[in-house]
Amino acid sequence: MTTTPAPPPPQGPGVVPPFPAPPVEGRGRRVGLGVGLGAGVLVLVLGGGLAAAIGLFTVASDALNEQADVVVSDYLDAVRDRRYADAYEMLCQQTKDDQTEAEFTSKVSDDEPIASYDVGDLETIQLSAPVDVTYADGSTGRLEAYLQQNRRTGRFEVCSIEE
C-alpha cells in the first residue's frame, strides 16, 4: 500500500499571493476625473449645439426680413412712381383673383401719395411687416404690409397694404 503525501500546511503571514491584488489607492480620484471629463465634454457638445441653433435662427430671420423688405419696397416704389401695372404684377395671386388691374389702379391712385417709407421687421406668424410712411403732404402714418409666399418660387408677394 502506497501512501500519498499530505498537503503542505498553509503559509504564514507575509506570503506573496500567486496573483497581483487590485490597486486600492487613487480609485476615487480616477472615477472623479472620468466623470468630470465626461460632463465637460457633454457641456461643450450641448453648448455648441445651442450656439449653432441660435445662429441658424438668427441667419434665417435676417434672410426673411431682408426678402420682405425688398418685396415691400419694390411694391411701394412702383406705387409711389405711379407704375400701377408693375405694382399689380407684384401682388399675390389671391389678390389678383379678387380685383382686376383697373380696380386696383383706381383704388391705389386715389390714395394719398407716399413720399418716403421705412419697412420694419417681418412678423412671421401673420407674414406681415409694419411700414412707417411719410405722405407727400408731410403727414405720417403706419401701414401694415401683408405678404404671402409664392408656392412655385418661394418668394414673398404683397397681398395688401392696410392702415
CATH code of 142's domain: 3.10.450.50
pLDDT at 71: 92
Tell me, yes or no, whether 125 lies in a domain.
yes
Tell me, yes or no, whether 24 lies in a domain.
no
Q: Amino acid identity, residue 20?
A: P
Tell me, yes or no, whether 30 lies in a domain.
no
pTM: 0.67
pLDDT of 25-39, one tens digit each?
A: 666 777 888 888 888
Tell me, yes or no, whether 120 lies in a domain.
yes
Q: What is the largest CA-CA distance in the chain?
A: 135
Q: What is the mean pLDDT of residues 116-145?
A: 90
Domains identified in the chain, total number: 1
Q: What is the mean pLDDT of residues 115-135?
A: 90
Question: Is the CB of residue 129 less than 8 Å from the CB of residue 72?
Answer: yes
Q: What is the mean pLDDT of residues 31-50?
A: 87
Tell me, yes or no, whether 144 lies in a domain.
yes
Tell me, yes or no, whether 88 lies in a domain.
yes
User: Count of alpha carbons within 13 Å of 77, Cβ hemisphere only?
Assistant: 8
Q: Which domain holds residue 46?
A: 42-162
Percentage of the residues of the chain whose pLDDT score is greater than 90: 26
